[in-house]
Structure 1
Amino acid sequence: MSEALERGIVWTVAVTRCRRAARLPRRLLRSSLQIAAALLISFPGVAVSQNSLLYFPGKATVAEMVSGGLRAWPSEEEFRGLVAEPAGPVRATAIVFHGNAGHAGHRDFYATMLTRLGLRVILAEYPGYGPREGALGERSLVDDAQQTITLAYRMHGAPLVVIGESLGAGVAAAAAGRERDKTAGLMLITPWDRLENVAAHHYPWLPVKWFLRDRYDSVDHLAAFGRPVLVVVAERDTIVPPRFGTALHDSLGEPRKLTVIPGAGHNDWTGRVDTVWWQHAIDFILTRQR
Structure 2
Amino acid sequence: MKLFVRIVLTVLMVLLIAYCGVVGYMYVNQRTLQYAPEGPVTALVDTSLSSAEAVSIPSGDGLINGWYQAPRAGKPLIIYYKGNSGSFSDEHARFEQFVADGYGFLAFDYRGFPMSPGEISQTSILEDASAAFDWVSQKGFPIVVWGRSLGSGPATYVASVRDARALLLETPFLSAATVASERYPFLPVDLVMQDQFPVNAWILEVSEPVLVAHGTGDVTIDVSNGERVYGLAPNKDELWIEPGAGHGDLWDRGIWAHAEPFFERAMAGK
Please give the TM-score of this superposition, normalised by the length of structure 2. 0.84
> What is the match of residue 105 of structure 2?
121
1:172 aligns with 2:155: yes
- C-alpha contact 1:113 1:278 (8 A) present in aligned 2: no
**1:30-109 matches, cutoff 5 A:** 32=12, 36=16, 39-40=19-20, 43-58=23-38, 64-68=43-47, 69=49, 70-74=52-56, 80-86=65-71, 88-89=72-73, 91-109=75-93
1:242-280 Cα offsets, whole Å, 9 max, x none, are 111000110111244211223321112211117543322
The DSSP-based 3-state class of the residue aligned with 1:135 is: coil
For these two proteins, the number of residue pairs brought into alignment is 262
Which is further off, 130-139 or 44-53? 44-53
- C-alpha contact 1:114 1:278 (8 A) present in aligned 2: no
1:224 aligns with 2:216: no
The sequence identity of aligned pairs, in percent, is 23
- C-alpha contact 2:65 2:115 (8 A) present in aligned 1: no
**1:169-208 matches, cutoff 5 A:** 169-179=152-162, 181=163, 183-208=164-189
Q: Distance in 2 between matches of 1:194 and 1:27?
A: 41
The DSSP-based 3-state class of the residue aligned with 2:159 is: helix
Measured after TM superposition, the shift of residue 233 of structure 1 is 0.9
- C-alpha contact 1:66 1:105 (8 A) present in aligned 2: no
**1:251-262 matches, cutoff 5 A:** 251-262=232-243
Q: Distance in 1 between matches of 2:207 and 2:153?
A: 17
Q: Give ranges in structure 1 of 5+ residues lacking alignment.
A: 1-22
> What is the match of residue 6 of structure 1?
none
Taking only aligned residues, the RMSD between alpha carbons, in angstroms, comes to 2.9
Q: Distance in 1 between matches of 2:258 and 2:243?
A: 13
- C-alpha contact 2:214 2:250 (8 A) present in aligned 1: no
Measured after TM superposition, the shift of residue 90 of structure 1 is 5.2
Please give the TM-score of this superposition, normalised by the length of structure 1. 0.79
- C-alpha contact 2:213 2:255 (8 A) present in aligned 1: no
1:71-120 Cα offsets, whole Å, 9 max, x none, are 20257x9653112345x435111110111111011111221222233210
The DSSP-based 3-state class of the residue aligned with 2:154 is: helix
Shift in alpha-carbon separation, 1:230–1:275, aligned structure 2, 3 A: closer
Q: Give ranges in structure 2 of 5+ residues lacking alignment.
A: none
Measured after TM superposition, the shift of residue 40 of structure 1 is 3.6
Shift in alpha-carbon separation, 1:198–1:78, aligned structure 2, 3 A: closer
Shift in alpha-carbon separation, 1:42–1:269, aligned structure 2, 3 A: closer
Q: Distance in 2 between matches of 1:213 and 1:161?
A: 29
